[in-house]
Chain A
Amino acid sequence: MDFDFSPVVTNWRFLASGLVLTIVLALASMTGATLVGTAVGIARHYGPRWLGLVLALYIDSMRAIPVLVVLVLPMIVDIQLSPFATGLVALTAHLGAYVAEIVRAGIASIRPGQTRAALALGMSRVQVVRKIVLPQAIVRMLPAYGSILSITIKDTAIATVIAVPELMRQSETIAAQSFRPLEVFTTTMLVFFLLLFPVTRGVDAVYRRVQHLGRS
């Protein structure tokens, strides 16, 4: 069997633009999911019961439906969004539910005694959440949050089905044009691995350093 990596080499700019978009989409989705998830998670823990039920339905629905389905679902509304915008909205909605669960579990894991101690000092409920509960919860959330980060990067590859020109999509195009899927896809695999591995490891390392800040 002879290998020919020239399609990868000659089209490196095209592939690199895909990699850039993969990273941009992942960061944007993660930012969106963090905002949505934090709000939903806090509302679910501290909010009224009816709101909690509504939010639980949102979260459980997102856990029940595949990302691929969530990605194509925006097509049912008659608004013309770019593939990138569609992907961003879908991934934010999907991952936001997971982040919400992590935030809620993080808050719930802080002993009630911590809240009591802060209240005893005379802090308001809002101050207790902001100054005492959330800072500790964030530390405890880090490992789960880190795995969401790598899931996000992996999920961006699924956005290929709605033609977002990220790395997966660009690789498919080159593979089809050059009839060299082995070389192209193997290269893409390596690139994704090199992107994801440091992320996973980096989060672990950060967590080990700050772990004690969340241990009450």
Chain B
Amino acid sequence: MNLDWTVAWQYRFMLAEGVLVTVLLTVFTMAIAVPGGIVVMLARQSRFAPLRMAGTAYVEFFRNLPLILLVYWAFYVLPMIVDIQLSPFATGLVALCLNVSAYNAETFRAGVNSIRRGQHNAGLALGMSQWQVMGRIVLPQAVRRILPVLASTWVSLFKDTSLVSVIAVGDLAHNALQIRSQTFRVLEMLTVMAAIYWCLGYPQAKLVDWMHRRFGVSE
């Protein structure tokens, strides 16, 4: 078997572009899904029952759905319903945001609920308002519990962006697989793709471990 690793160098710009798209997708999705998650969480804690149910239904539905199916659905079905043509990138972004917002909503809810009721009462007893209690007592404590989980979600998201390659978004996975089928350099391109993902993902995974050790709360 003769191997030709120069193929990776030859297509370096296409690979770099793929990495850029992968990173941008991750950043944009998180930037939208954090506020998105907060909105859904607040909806679930609303005093208005229908809003509460809608929030719960949203979270349960999207957490119990394969992301790749959501990507296909957003690509083929969404344009038929809302009647606008989105670019593949925007379509992928929508699918990822719908998914990650649901996970974030759960993370935020768990983080806020983990702060004991006594802390809340202690704040109120000092004469603080509900909002002050939320802002000064509950949230600062909750952040420590939320951050590590959010970091785990980030790494999952980074990897999950590869799924949008099935709708021809030019991310790393898509571009690498494209080069593979153009050049028939299967072994080389698959290895290079895995290696690039590894180099990008491994430090992130380690960083998450560190955050869990640093901020993690053992019950």
Interface residues of A, Cβ cutoff 8 Å to B: 1, 60-61, 63-69, 72-73, 75-76, 78, 150, 153-158, 160-161, 168, 171-172, 175, 181-182, 185-186, 188-189, 192-193, 196-197, 200
A200 to chain B: closest residue by CB: B64
Which of B160, B194, B206 has most chain A Cβ within 10 Å?
Answer: B194
Chain B residues with Cβ below 8 Å from A161 are 166
Interface residues of B, Cβ cutoff 8 Å to A: 1, 60-61, 63-70, 72-73, 76-77, 80-81, 155, 159-163, 165-166, 173, 177, 186-187, 190-191, 193-194, 197-198, 200-202, 204-206
Chain B residues with Cβ below 8 Å from A69 are 162, 173, 190, 193-194, 197
* B73 near A186: Cβ-Cβ < 8 Å: yes
Q: Give CA–CA (A197, B155) in the complex, Å.
A: 24
Binding site of A, secondary structure by majority: helix, strand, loop or mixed? helix
Q: Give CA–CA (A215, B89) in the complex, Å.
A: 48
21 contacts between A and B (CB under 8 A): A1-B80, A65-B159, A66-B173, A67-B159, A68-B163, A68-B165, A69-B190, A72-B190, A154-B66, A154-B67, A158-B163, A160-B166, A168-B68, A181-B80, A182-B80, A185-B72, A189-B73, A192-B69, A193-B65, A196-B65, A197-B60
Binding site of B, secondary structure by majority: helix, strand, loop or mixed? helix
Chain B residues with Cβ below 8 Å from A197 are 60, 64
Q: Given A67-B159, A69-B193, decide whether A154 and B65 contact each other with a Cβ distance below 8 A.
A: yes
Q: How many A-B residue pairs have CB under 8 A?
A: 109
B200 to chain A: closest residue by CB: A64
For the complex formed, measure the closest distance between the CB of B191 and the CB atoms of chain A, giving whole angstroms: 6
* B166 near A73: Cβ-Cβ < 8 Å: no
A197 to chain B: closest residue by CB: B64
B160 to chain A: closest residue by CB: A66
Q: Give CA–CA (A1, B80) in the complex, Å.
A: 9
Chain B residues with Cβ below 8 Å from A61 are 198, 202
Other-chain contact of B77, A155, A160, A186 (Cβ < 8 Å): A186
For the complex formed, measure the closest distance between the CB of A41 and the CB atoms of chain B, giving whole angstroms: 16
Q: Give CA–CA (A185, B73) in the complex, Å.
A: 6
Other-chain contact of A60, B63, B177, B205 (Cβ < 8 Å): B205
Chain B residues with Cβ below 8 Å from A193 are 61, 64-65
Q: Give CA–CA (A64, B201) in the complex, Å.
A: 4
